């Protein structure tokens, strides 16, 4: 099996690889779960150990919603998106079967599965694959960022450990703070404060995926300590980063 992959993609993270096999849990983010090789099962009431399971290939789990997924075999794709950004609204609009806990069955499900499978197997480049996936799912930047905002985004990605305060970023862009905030949210889909969190988390998970220890990844991304990174990661994704590290290693074995 191909190694598991993590793709930092703006204010979102895409995981491709073996299923985690986690117990019922909550994520601070929204997560689109797509089974690449066969059906997945979603608990109708995760708090009830006698619950029935809904069979599907794709499900959108809403933020802070207790959920439990089961998969018998094969690979999963998990796309984590910010609950305060426009991605979640776009994804909800592309699901065909809404419920109280989430929504099932993507409208372009077959095409999404095919594209995610190509990304998982390195049959398409990450940049091209994410751009195509963004078009299918309606997520990502909807227009080319202005030069000033694009420069700020590059600066944040290149130096995730810095504070990236609004006044500093606005001054570098030659814009007033209020104008910078307006353009930034219009072009990224999330407020600056939320993007800072995703930027740091993306840098940390990329470092973990490249073999860095949790402590090394935490410091490289600007977290005060590995415990700070672990608690932030658990709040956002509903698991410890060590769980993710095990999945990445399982995919590489």
Residue 76, CB-side half-sphere exposure with 13 Å CA sphere = 26
1 — pLDDT class (breaks 50, 70, 90): very low
Q: What is the pLDDT of residues 12-55, one digit of tens each?
A: 999 998 888 788 988 889 999 999 999 999 999 999 989 999 99
**Domain definitions of the chain by residue range:** 5-137, 147-188
Q: What is the pLDDT of residues 110-125, one digit of tens each?
A: 999 999 999 999 999 9
The strand pairing partners of 197, in sequence order, are none
Residue 188, burial from CB neighbour count under 10 angstroms (0-12, 13-18, 19+): buried
Q: What is the pLDDT of residues 236-245, one digit of tens each?
A: 888 888 877 7
Q: Does domain 5-137 have CATH number 1.10.150.530?
A: no
SS (H, E, C) 15-68: EEEECCCCCCECCCCEEEEEECCCCEEEECCCCCCCCCEEEECEEEECCCCCEC
Q: Model-level pTM greater than 0.95?
A: no
| Residue 10 CB neighbours (<10 A) | 23
- pLDDT for the residue 11: 87
């Amino acid at each position: 099996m191909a190694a598991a992959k993590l793709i930092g993609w703006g204010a979102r993270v895409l995981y491709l690889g073996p299923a985690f096999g986690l117990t019922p849990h909550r994520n601070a983010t929204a997560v689109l779960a797509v089974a690449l090789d066969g059906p997945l099962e979603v608990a109708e009431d995760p708090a009830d150990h006698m619950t029935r399971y809904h069979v599907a290939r794709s499900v959108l789990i809403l933020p802070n919603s207790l959920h439990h997924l089961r998969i018998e075999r094969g690979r999963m794709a998990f796309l984590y998106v910010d609950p305060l950004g426009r991605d979640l609204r776009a994804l909800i609009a592309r699901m065909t079967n809404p419920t109280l806990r989430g929504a099932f069955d993507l409208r372009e499900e077959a095409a999404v599965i095919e594209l995610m499978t190509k990304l998982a197997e390195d049959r398409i480049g990450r940049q091209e694959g994410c751009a195509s996936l963004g078009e299918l799912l309606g997520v990502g930047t909807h227009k080319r960022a202005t030069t000033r905002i694009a420069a700020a985004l590059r600066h944040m990605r290149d130096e995730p450990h810095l504070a990236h305060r609004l006044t500093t970023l606005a001054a570098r862009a030659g814009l007033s703070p209020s104008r910078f905030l307006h353009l930034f949210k219009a072009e990224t889909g999330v407020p600056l404060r939320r993007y800072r969190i995703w930027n740091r988390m993306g840098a940390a998970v990329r470092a973990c995926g490249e073999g860095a220890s949790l402590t090394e990844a935490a410091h490289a991304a600007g977290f005060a300590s590995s415990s700070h990174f672990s608690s932030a990661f658990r709040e956002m994704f509903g698991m410890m980063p060590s769980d993710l590290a095990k999945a990445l290693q399982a995919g590489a074995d």
